[in-house]
Amino acid sequence: MEKGAISLCKALRSDYRDVNGKMQGVRGDITKLKHVPGLSVAAKRLLQNIEHTSRKIPGTQEVRRTMRFQIQGYRIRYGVPLFVTFSPDEAHNTLMVRLSRTRRNDPIITHGVMCSIPGPSS
């Protein structure tokens, strides 16, 4: 186990072979460790345990990978999703108009008083 852990730590600073066969730097990315050539059996087994354990930890790459599998399954079952975002423009957004200080009957403008926050010296 100790030799496998040491091997994984060294592999984090080594190179791996990408899908095109080109050597790339691992640069500390655990998800790329399985593609590093020459890992010992103990290191591969330890890496499998790390991947399995991190499947339940929120925010890890393993959780994201699981989510990708689920999304792919939804795409197969329900089809390709369509995401649409609607953003109303500021001129027609009632909240923006309500918070705006450009109304003619605004009490601040009518009385000629500008709103200011008193500082510590006031």
What pTM value is reported for the model?
A: 0.55
Residue bearing tokens 């050539």: 37
Q: How many Cβ atoms from other residues are within 10 Å of residue 6's Cβ?
A: 13
pLDDT per residue, tens digit, the chain (122 aa), is 899 999 999 999 999 988 898 999 999 888 899 999 999 999 999 999 999 998 889 988 889 989 999 999 999 999 988 877 777 676 667 777 666 666 677 676 677 655 554 445 44
Q: Which two tokens stand for residue 52?
A: 């399995």
